[in-house]
Structure 1
Amino acid sequence: MKTMQWNILMAALLCVIMAGTGSVWAEEADQEYDLGQIIVTADRYPVNEQKSARFVTVLTAEQLEESGGNNVIDALKRSGTLSYKSLAPLGVSRMGMKSEVSIRGLEDGELVLINGVPIQSASGGSYDLNAIGLDQIERVEILSGAASTLYGADAMTGVINIITRQPGQQCSPYASVELGELGYQNHSVGLTSEKLNLGARYQRLDGIDTIYRKFSAKSPYRYDMQATDQLSASLNYRPAEHWTIDYLVTTIETGFVKRYDSPSKEPIFYDQDQEKHFADIRYEADNVAVKGFYSFDELTKNQTSPSAPEEKRRNYNYGFSGDYRFNAFSLKQTIGADITRRVADYDYSYGRHARDDSALFWQVKRPFFERLLVSAGAREQWINGYDGARNYSRFLPSAGLNFEVTSALHLFANAGKAFRAPSFNDQYYSTATRVGNPDLEPEEGWTYEAGMKYDHPAIHLRVAVFLMKFEDKIISYERADGMNSYYNAGDYENQGIEWKLVFAPFHQGQGVWKNLSFSARGFVANPKADDSDGVLTQVGPRVQTAFGIKYLGRLFTFNVDLINLNDREDDLESEITVNLYSRYQLPVGALTFSVDNLFDEEVVTGGSTTSEYYGLGRLIKAGYEIRL
């Protein structure tokens, strides 16, 4: 059966490739869509965001830089659109446990892509966005709401699509140097040309005390982080029209010390090395897209005192995807297929496991009455496990509509079925503090969304109300014996509202005031699930709001963001952080000055009723950048 599905999918991909030469979709697309903010994540092909049936947030390279973020995941947490959970400063992985962002207050529901292909591991759904520097990114598109029809399993609450920087029109070398407190360094150098984009980055942070604390009645302890050094490089090459090759590589060296509160217990020292690779080759034309991709992540943990055997944790993803657009029966149609092999190989935790994620999908769109655009789609998803793992097959339909009230105001709605299979960590993990549950069922359910989009020279507004209803949501919990494990919640529901507003009240004015804008982003939600005893319990933050003030002038840029996370799960304290970024253009190059956590608040980035993870205090940074 597995061989047959491979053959079917590879045949479908071949058909997509061969079919890509004769369509006239490009000419029609130019007539249908007005010029505006063009996105690719909502439909897998470029569309006008205002006319899509989805709530999509776009963060450009300039906006990411102006956030003052230290890497991609740090910049995303400052967007106000995503909640953030960190297990170590700068989003660094701690002993294999990864930092993550979540959509609308629901953890483990987001699918993360690079250039439209999945990078999450099968072991635990991790993605290590701290390994990607902002200089390597062209933009990030965040699609809120289930997207399993187009992107398959794991897209329960939305999709985060990271689009790498592409070759430019002229040769342009660049370099930057940034220094800060706590031994912080962030330096980059690169070159952009017509066919080639090259970049390299070095980042460092000195050791930090107390990044994690366990409040245990028997044996309380904390973790300190040793100095962290990160080196990354990127390549984007366009050998011919429509063809692109991308490659990212990162190495991270750090260490951790487990210190017990009791002076009678000796500390335990760990070294940690991580190496990550991502590569893809893409053919993207107006009516056809074909992609091949490969990602590899190896984390090596070495307990140095007292000495213990070295442990390696490896994750591999590789596969193909293809889709083709055409017109038939007065419908604009997209058909496609994808297949991904996911492998996890953990030396001592559970050994080697693998699975194949494969699918066929179809989406149609048709306008009615010149103002209403209706879309519908379906996906047949197969997950085939190896070495005794379970197999799954699900049919995943969706539908959406967009109604143009005026050229400035659009109403939209969508509904879709979502699905996520248990990860290998969920099922098989086995350490001194955590054990998997091999009897877990997959998560599945429906999401519903309706909202409005309004665009005016002074106002950019998006508002959506949403409802998520899932069964068998996989929840992590702490057992009575202190071990952590997983269970299926009988019912899970989340409902609320998400918004984003950019207001430029002086856009028609004269002088400096016309460059001033204000923003407000966030959500109010009510994520609840049955706990291990069947009692309905809050499982995510209820309120997140972010407010920003930006001045964007020819010589001077200034941005301040305030992020408030409130009414959190597990009695975690509410928090408010303020971040500042500024840039001053010189005759040659520019000076930058930024402050993370301006008021030096204690930031609890995650935890439970018995433990807490901590972010950095105030971090002052200054730098110089030049682009020729």
Structure 2
Amino acid sequence: MSSLFSPRWSFAVTGLVLLSAAASADTPATPTDLSPVVVTATRTERTQQDAPIRTEVVTRAELDRTHARTLKEAMENVPGVQLREIHGKSGFEASLQGLTSDQLLILIDGLPISASTGSTVDLSQYALTEVDRIEVIKGAASAQYGSAAMGGVINVITRVPESGLRITALGDVGSYGTRNDSARRIDANKRHGQLQVDGGNQDWRWSLGADQQQDDGFSDKPLAWTRRGDAVERSQYSAMARWQPDGPLRAWGEVQRYEEDARQRYLRYVPSVLVPQQKDEHIRRDRLSGGARWSADNGLSLEAKGVTERYRSDSLALSQHSLVTQRDAKVEQSHLTLQLDLPPWAGQLWQVGVDLHDEQLWQSANGHSELSVGRAQRDSQELFLQNDVFLSERLELVLGARYQYDSDFGSHTAPKAALRYDYLQGDAWQGEMRASVGQGYRVPNLKERHFLFDHSALGYKVIGRPDLKPESSNSVQLGTSLRWQDQLTLDVNAFYNRITDLIQIDMSQPVTGGGGVTTYTYENIARAATWGVETGVQWKPLTPLTVGGSWTWTHTEDLDTGARLTRRPRHILRLNSDLTLPNQRTTLSLRARGQSRELTDTGQGDYSPSWYTWDVRLNHDATPALRLFAGIDNLFDRQRKFIDSTDPSEIPDFGPVAGRYVYLGARYQWQR
């Protein structure tokens, strides 16, 4: 696989970090804990506590503590989030409240990011170089977002550079032990390097970022052909500029490139023999985004922002080292948002906006189109209206509606309402209640209607269905947050999502074709529902110690048959602990995650077993500018059972793919 940096680049960065510490031992580190301000719930800045719609935040401090490198790793410890492997790819998708990744909207600064397969965003394909925080909204609770936000929104907020000059270099290397691709227990099997340079003056701010990850892959039998973990190289580069004078007008622009090279190796069972298979894939994403905002002193503001993005995947499938299929796929999207906020009037904040969206999809195999049309395309125009009404000092009501016109499915209107009530405002205790009801609406994406998801080498294909109907849902959220000073926080939230025409892959009636390849298609389930409870607690029993956890219980049901929906675990658990040692420069963090068994086959009643993992993180500030860190992922080495492809009675295990992983790293930050 090609590389802009040699595999030794990460070692070089780590070495430079260590050697340069003495020269800048007195340089202060930039604080990472920022005020908990959120923007996703209402597209206006509010503190997390005051937001009328429940918003969960992954802060920059948490990202630094846990050494998250990608959006996938950042989402691992968010309560109730289920991460799944994307079929046939070296990546992961997310689901919330029993709804799938296709019903989840992923945004970067409020603008959509391209889906890696025409529908699902691969969370592994976004590095966190410039990220300030990540905001999560669950369910169809906000009128601000339309199609594809039926299950919730994940909004990545990038950092605004400070004035002056700052250079940050980071590097880490790690090992899977005996599972390393080289078969050597101690080896730099996985390497990561990151470089940031940013600064500016009173009017101009700018930022340059580079991130590269190289993973040689892993296997229980490294010298054998099959790899459990793919060999992957990912790189992301970005450049951003902001113009923010003291006047009412501000503007920004960013250009970003992401590239990935991945290699899969596996065996396919053809009666009486196992045939070596290989897939090489090159991915490139070019993203250009920007916007401007004008604000008056009386609260009137007008904002325009947009993005254009091209995502391309070129793959080669080989069988017994001979080329079988050359597949090329391309996704292009453009999105423009206009938003007008009116001045406060009679305790009300009115907001109106327009979203314009266009996307196109091409795919060919061996030079022939694999779509039901030569090029799949759709566009939509959406109008949203919101009124934030402050009924009293303690009671706030948000009313909204969204009108959507889709080029293929016509028009639809979805209303929303949210209520926030401060029921406790004491010196020690504070509490608020949030309730919301909203209608979700999602048109079938281009993959579901036209895409040929061909994995014949793995024994199956999924074919799009042009006559699919749009999904619609009614979402209800009701919860409370209770805090005692800065030492104890309790959260409870109940949810109910009722979905009509839920789009699922028809697993019950596959068609088996030539060569033993099973073909599936999509279908609309007439009625389905998900409901459950999300709970969380954070406790600071001592000044240097914070402990907490969350538990999510989810029930799913096909309301026509009474059967549970597949791949939705009933219980999801998260635990966390952060301890600052007496020297005040060293922190030890523990993160645990687990889930109960999940249904994999309704007809056979098969379940993938439950699982849990523990991660350990250590951070030591050797100087104000230098941080040394280390970690162990999957401390107790819980790894999914290997499935024998020659045994059709084997039940799939969707537990963790990777076993224990140990790494060391350093981060150096120079600032003036």
TM-score normalized by the length of structure 2 = 0.79
2:272 equivalent to 1:235: no
- Find out whether 1:113 has 2:107 as its counterpart: yes
- Secondary structure of the residue aligned to 1:425 is helix
Q: For 1:609 and 1:339, locate their aligned partners in 2 and report how far apart those are by CA, in whole Å.
A: 48
Give ranges in structure 1 of 5+ residues lacking alignment: 1-34, 88-92, 212-220, 385-389, 507-513
Shift of 1:581: 1.0
Question: Which residue pairs with 2:4 in the alignment?
Answer: none
Deviations 1:423-444 (CA, angstroms, capped at 9, x unpaired): 1221223334211222211110
Alignment of 1:104 with 2:97, yes or no, is yes
Task: Choose 236-245 or 172-181, whichever is displaced more.
Answer: 236-245
Q: Does 1:486 align with 2:522?
A: yes
Partner of 1:353: 376
Distance in 2 (alpha carbons) for counterparts of 1:518 and 1:188:
30
Identity %: 20
Q: CA deviation at 1:269?
A: 2.1
- Gap change, CA 1:340 and 1:480, over 3 Å in 2: closer
Secondary structure, aligned partner of 2:383: strand
Alignment partner of 1:517 is 2:553:
no
1:187 aligns with 2:193: yes
Q: CA RMSD in A?
A: 2.6
Distance 1:424 1:610 in 2: 31
Once the two structures are superposed, what CA deviation does each residue of 1:478-513 show, in whole Å capped at 9, x if it has no partner?
Answer: 33433222111111111111123221122xxxxxxx
CA contact (8 A) 2:141 2:437 kept: no
Question: Would the aligned equivalents of 1:222 and 1:260 in 2 still touch at CA under 8 Å?
Answer: no
Return the match for 1:444 from 472, 483, 496. Answer: 472
The reply on whether 1:278 has 2:287 as its aligned counterpart is yes
Match of 2:591 in 1: 561
Aligned to 1:149, the other structure's residue is in SS state: coil
Report how far residue 71 of structure 1 moved. Answer: 1.4
* TM superposition shift of 1:122: 9.4
Residue number among 357, 370, 379 corresponding to 1:340 in the alignment = 357
Is 1:106–1:527's contact at 8 Å kept on the other side of the alignment? no
Q: Is the 8 A contact 1:167 1:236 kept in 2?
A: no
Deviates more, 1:256-265 or 1:539-548: 256-265
Is 1:548 aligned to 2:576, yes or no? yes
Alignment of 1:407-422 (within 5 A): 407=425, 408-422=430-444
Query: Are the structure 2 counterparts of residues 392 and 523 from structure 1 closer, same or farther at C-alpha, using a change threshold of 3 Å?
Result: farther
2:376–2:450 CA contact under 8 A, matched in 1: no
User: In structure 1, what is the Cα distance between the partners aligned to 2:116 and 2:209?
Assistant: 29
SS of 2:72 mapped into structure 1: helix
Structure 2 counterpart of 1:316: 332
Matching of residue 150 in structure 1 with residue 164 in structure 2: no
In 2: Cα distance, 1:122 partner to 1:379 partner: 27
User: Does 599-608 or 70-79 show the bigger shift?
Assistant: 599-608
Cα distance, 1:123 vs. partner?
5.7
Deviations 1:444-481 (A, max 9, x none): 02101111122331023322111111111111233343
* Structure 2 SS opposite 1:171: strand
Q: How does 1:67-82 map to 2 (within 5 A)?
A: 67-82=66-81
**Cα deviation 1:559-596 (Å, max 9, x = unaligned):** 10110111422211111011111111112512110111
* Residue 202 of structure 1: aligned partner: 212
Residues 164 and 369 (structure 1), Cα distance of their counterparts in 2 relative to 1, 3 Å cut: closer
How many angstroms does 1:111 deviate by? 0.8
Cα displacement string for residues 298-337 of structure 1 (whole angstroms, at most 9, x for unaligned residues): 1111124321352111111112101111134652100000
**2 CA distance for matches of 1:343 and 1:84?**
27
For 2:84, the aligned partner's letter is: K
Distance 2:537 2:126 in 1: 28
| Residue aligning to 1:307 | 323
SS in 2 for 1:307: strand
C-alpha separation in 2, matches of 1:278 and 1:604: 39
1:112-168 deviations in whole A, cap 9, x for unaligned? 100001124396322222122233211100011214621111111210001123212
Give me the whole-angstrom Cα distance separating, in 2, the residues matched to 1:184 and 1:233: 20
Contact 2:107–2:154 (CA under 8 A) maintained in structure 1: yes
Residues 186-242 of structure 1: CA deviation (Å, up to 9, x unaligned): 11111121311111111111133489xxxxxxxxx9775552211111222113442
| Structure 2 residue identity aligned to 1:476 | I
The whole-number CA distance in structure 2 between the counterparts of 1:210 and 1:377 is 53
Shift in Å, 1:254: 1.5
Is the CA contact (8 Å cut-off) linking 1:205 and 1:228 kept in structure 2? Answer: yes
Cα distance in structure 2, aligned partners of 1:146 and 1:240: 34
Is the CA contact 2:505–2:520 (under 8 Å) kept in the aligned structure 1? Answer: yes
Q: How many residues align?
A: 565
Aligned in 2, Cα 1:522/1:357: closer, same or farther, shift over 3 Å? farther
- Structure 1 distance, partners of 2:96, 2:611, is 18
What is the CA–CA distance in structure 2 between the aligned matches of 1:41 and 1:402, rounded to whole Å? 16
1:66 is displaced (CA, Å) by: 1.7
CA contact (8 A) 2:135 2:156 kept: yes
Secondary structure of 2:614's counterpart equals strand
